[in-house]
A and B are shown apart, each in its own frame.
Chain A
Amino acid sequence: MIKVSQLLKTVPTADGDLTILHGVDLEIAAGTSAAIVGASGSGKSTLLGLLAGMDVASAGDVWLDGVNLSALDEDARARLRAAKVGFVFQNFQLLPALTAKENVMLPLELAGIDEAGSIAERFLGEVGLQDRLAHYPTTLSGGEQQRVAIARAFAREPAVLFADEPTGNLDTRTGERIIDLLFELNARASTTLVLVTHDERLAERCDQRFSMSAGELFGP
């Protein structure tokens, strides 16, 4: 499902180029879950951005569902994201101007799906927010916002779901409920789940565990 070979990422800084990823290799099979753990600044979010086709590598290749992302331009990668990728972010990344339901509808509408409204309602029901449809993000708690984000990610029934520190902004109990929800939906939809976290307990629940340190990937 996901294959990475010799992935290199450097960024220019005032003191010359800084290498963030040092030739990373990685393979994640379809329908499985993988955790990438590491300390802050180890490069795991950069890797996630490259895996999801939101950034371009300096060298090396990323294959997502058999497509080499390095060969695609930004718009082609966006089409691929629209078709196959879902996201859950640490900061939820809901659009503040849209209600919970509208936020969930957005990727469906972008993909041109007609019944966006009813699908959004169904998924919000699955995450337990059936009575929060018309609420705006600022009126929801952190946990509720993350549940909206999960509903949004699964509503498109993506092949791959990327989650970046999904519990990072939540307290332990809420975080646990969110993780249960994530894995439950993942199991039901057979989605490939790639999770970036520094929470070892969360990583342990995944099929594979990679660790990242100073731009190098170790494991599983």
Chain B
Amino acid sequence: MKQALTWRLLAREWRSGELGILLMALVLAVSVVVGVSSFVTRLQSALLSESARFLAADMVVVSRSPVPEAWISAAHEQQLQPTEVVGFPSMAVADIDHMALSSIKAVSLGYPLRGELLWSSEPYGEVLATGAIPGAGEVWLAPRLFSLLDVELGESIFVGEQPLRVSGAVRGEPDATTAVFGFGPRLLMNTADIPATGVIQPGSRVEYRLLLRGTPEAIASFTEWVKPQLGQGQRLDSVEGAQPSISETLDRAQGFLLLAGSLAVVLAAAAITLASRRFGERHTQYVAILKSLGAQSPEIASLYGRSLFWIGLFGTLIGCLLGWVLQEAFIRVLGSLLPVEPGAAGLKPILIGGVTAAVCLMFFAWPPLRRLGQASPLRVLRADMGIAEAQRSSDFLMGSVAIVALMWWYSGSALVTGAVIAGLCVVMGLGYMAANVLLSGSRSVGGFAGSLWRVALAGLQRRGRANALQMVIFAMAIMLMLLLSVVRTSLIGQWQAQLPPDAPNHFLMNLAPEERPELQTFFADNEILSETLYPMTRGRVISVNDAALPRWEELEEDGAPRQREANFTWSDEIPTGNALVDGEWWTADTDQPWVSLEEEFASDIGAAVGDRLSLRIGADALEVTVLNIRAVDWQSMRPNFFTVFPRKVLEAFPGMYMTSFRLLPEQKSLLNQLVGVLPTVTVIELDIVIREMRVVIDQVARALELVLGVILLAGGLVLISGVRSSLDGRLRESALLRAVGARKGMVLGALWVEFLVLGGLAGALASVGAEVAAWGLQTQVFEMSWTPTPLMWALGPTLGAVIVGALGVWSCRRVVNVPPVVILREV
């Protein structure tokens, strides 16, 4: 067929609106995929920057010796912004009676590279982000150091030999949880003063941190350059490991977004398949006429092949454009909520959109069109001839393989893909079984029912095969929508449970036993909610099974077993929120020398159940046997312990107490009173960290809801395509019914029943499939516990029936408003 003729036919096809349906499905597919994937990419980079706050940088080189100058030069050359931090424990001395072991952090200009350093002019005064650091000759003290050292603003203290003037209180460091430098309260100073202090000597326990900020590419290239040069005691810390609970939140959010994107691909493929099938069916007669006029199969194939090519090209272009608008709309909606300017999406989303379009067209749109070439010209004489069914199963198989590959590529996770595919397989398997049983049984039921039911159920059965397919597609779309809703609800629920509104936001440590009544009175007087008091004593694990452990600074390789210092506590029962991983818990009154270890702590010292540990508590030695290993939920804001002993084993050792409590923002000034009453206690302020975590979680939750909305929209459009795909047959039959005198109510009623039954069945199947997929995703991908969702079992069939019923009847409404002859002529 001549090129010009192909163009003319294509133009005429376009004018007739038939190609428009296919084009719309493709545009929908590409725009959803591009939109969601661009949004995900941009959000990921924004969230990564957000979590970079917990590192105060995009990446950190951690070293036990000064970071080589060459590395700093290299960072400059790679367009990275560096700044140095030095951390070590040392005594801060005000006078001979007032000294305190402090966790000293020396920072240089530029710190922090991400996030903000918070300061106040008095110990628990109003918190400000000044954008400054302590100048040379100055220090900022943690609030409790003021009382421990008995100093005020403007006075001087000594670090080593260097006097430093107190110029403020340090109230929040973005990397407080990742750069610890010992257990004492924080003292922030300038790196310029370090040499004068003279405290850093060979063998001192010092951590040097080179903070780096720059584009992901520059970070990646520097990482590649520096990694082979890392020596003993040197490592790279990246954003991913910066703040476990935030990183886990982001991981799950990312998993969810990628899941959503994959579902968008499946829905897109479904929409295209439906549109293309309808196009193919409507064009069989068209092709028969062309063939009767002498067009040959290759010409027909070429006509539709070219049509598809141009549809693909235009669809992809328009889809990419709309996808861009979509993600821009997302970003606008989130707008002020995003903590940092979202990063660029890059070209990958466009590539994903293009590949999705190509795969969808090749495996889902092309087969029905290719079959058009095989249409018999005899149809011009015999309109009742069927449509070639050949090769449908192989097309389906190839399409399925393509879609699995696409989902896998898109989500980058075999588990995500596997869980969704498992759900879809359940839907398809059960769908065909249910369709066969129910649709074949429906007629016998209909035989006893009134004429409306008889007409409806006969209709269901007559189009049995098409109905089964349509039902499976409805079920798939509903399943994907239910699945995403369930996963979103449980993710957000879990995040919120992690940080309940009344969670304790301060820790209090170093409370002497005799101070307990005083503290309890203080809490009661000021209506402060607190947890129970936990006994606590500080100790060190020296050896395991008589094999001495090296000290941290003697360690030859990172990760090898080493001595660990920890807070020891005793408890009759397993602490709340802890779970036994190995071994068993002791009885309350035991005096056996046992210990319970937290799993990572056990791995750090290289101990397992049954091992003997030698401990040192102050000057005393203690021998115990590991009775069990515990998993601890570190995300809970409760006091958690690495090592727990039976009461009778630890009671004899001198110890202090700790607790956690909740302070409202307006109660903040009570802290000054508290450290006035109990000057030796340590108060750790977690309220700022918790507030920041809440912000991140709220943002992520909002993003998930937006994406869910888009996927629901895509699912809705698949349902519309599904209803449309069977429209001609239904319109024709309804018009015939009208022609033979059926009343409007009966025709509409029959349509309602037909679509309600289809939708209800599809919804029921979808609930089963969504439950299977949700189980897989929650247990395998999101590492959450799975609980069945009874609401979904009720909601699936109800929503299915209502939505499909309403869409179906709405799509067919013309049949009762337009004279039947017009409908019959059109279809």
Interface residues of chain A, those whose CB is within 8 Å of chain B, are: 45, 48-49, 52, 54-55, 74-75, 78-83, 85, 87, 89, 91, 93-98, 102, 106-107, 109-112, 138, 152, 164
Contacts and interface: CB of A to CB of B under 8 A. Distances in A.
B381 A79 contact: no
Given A45-B381, A112-B2, A81 B825 contact: no
Contacts of A45: 381-382
Nearest to B13: A97
Interface stretch (B288-296, B653-661, B737-745): B288-296
Given A109-B2, A110-B1, A110-B5, A95 B294 contact: no
Given A74-B297, A85-B294, A102-B12, 14 more contacts: A54-B292, A75-B298, A79-B294, A89-B381, A93-B292, A93-B380, A96-B16, A97-B16, A106-B290, A106-B293, A107-B294, A109-B8, A110-B294, A111-B294
B293 A87 contact: yes
Given A93-B380, A97-B12, A97-B15, A110 B290 contact: yes
B377 A54 contact: yes
Contacts of B292: 52, 54, 81, 87, 93
Given A75-B296, A81-B294, A138-B825, A93 B289 contact: yes
Nearest to B12: A97
Nearest to B822: A138
A52 B288 CA distance: 13
B376 A95 contact: no
A93 B383 CA distance: 10
B289 to A, nearest CB: 5
Contacts of A109: 2, 5, 8
Nearest to B380: A93
A198 to B, nearest CB: 15
B329 interface: no
B793 interface: no
A96 B283 CA distance: 11
B378 interface: yes
Contacts of A98: 12
B826 to A, nearest CB: 8
A65 to B, nearest CB: 14
Q: Give the interface centre of B15, B286, B378, B826 by most chain A CB atoms within 10 Å.
A: B378
Given A45-B381, A49-B381, A54-B381, A78 B376 contact: no
Contacts of B383: 91
B240 interface: no
A163 B380 CA distance: 12
* Among B16, B285, B295: residue with most chain A CB under 10 A: B295
A99 B292 CA distance: 19
Given A49-B381, A110-B290, A164-B381, A97 B18 contact: yes
A49 B288 CA distance: 12
A54 B382 CA distance: 11
The secondary-structure label for the interface of chain B is: helix
Given A109-B2, A112-B2, A95 B295 contact: no
Interface string B1-13: 1100100100011
Contacts of A52: 292
Interface in B368-401: 376-378, 380-383
B380 A54 contact: yes
A45 B825 CA distance: 23
21 contacts: A49-B378, A54-B292, A54-B376, A54-B378, A79-B294, A81-B293, A81-B377, A87-B292, A87-B380, A89-B380, A91-B383, A95-B286, A97-B12, A107-B293, A109-B5, A110-B1, A110-B5, A110-B294, A110-B295, A111-B294, A164-B381
Contacts of B289: 93-95
Size category of the B interface is 20 to 34
Ranked 8 nearest A-B pairs via Cβ: A82-B294, A97-B16, A75-B296, A107-B293, A54-B377, A78-B296, A81-B294, A109-B5
A97 B286 CA distance: 10
A108 to B, nearest CB: 10
Nearest to A137: B825
Nearest to B295: A110
A110 B825 CA distance: 27
A152 B380 CA distance: 15
A98 B1 CA distance: 17
Nearest to A82: B294
A6 B381 CA distance: 22
Nearest to A152: B293
A94 B12 CA distance: 14
Contacts of B382: 45, 49
Contacts of B15: 97
A119 B293 CA distance: 16
B326 to A, nearest CB: 32
Nearest to A84: B294
Contacts of B285: 93
A120 to B, nearest CB: 13
A206 B32 CA distance: 63
Nearest to A103: B289
Given A97-B12, A102-B12, A82 B378 contact: no
Contacts of A85: 294
A53 to B, nearest CB: 9
Which of B13, B292, B295, B382 gathers most chain A CB within 10 Å? B292
B378 A79 contact: no
Contacts of B299: 110
Contacts of A49: 378, 381-382
Nearest to A165: B381
Given A48-B381, A97-B18, A82 B295 contact: yes
Contacts of B295: 78, 82, 110
Contacts of B286: 95, 97
B266 to A, nearest CB: 32
Contacts of B291: 54, 78, 81
A142 B368 CA distance: 32
Contacts of A95: 12, 286, 289
Candidate in A96, A109, A152 with the most chain B CB atoms within 10 angstroms: A109
A32 B174 CA distance: 98
A112 B1 CA distance: 8
B18 to A, nearest CB: 7
A106 B15 CA distance: 16
Nearest to B300: A78
A91 B289 CA distance: 11
A95 B289 CA distance: 8
A54 B292 CA distance: 7
Contacts of B380: 54, 87, 89, 93
Nearest to A89: B380
B10 to A, nearest CB: 11
Contacts of A94: 289
A48 B376 CA distance: 14
A74 B286 CA distance: 17
A79 B376 contact: no
B376 to A, nearest CB: 7
B287 to A, nearest CB: 10
Nearest to B18: A97
A117 to B, nearest CB: 11
A169 B40 CA distance: 60
A82 B1 CA distance: 12
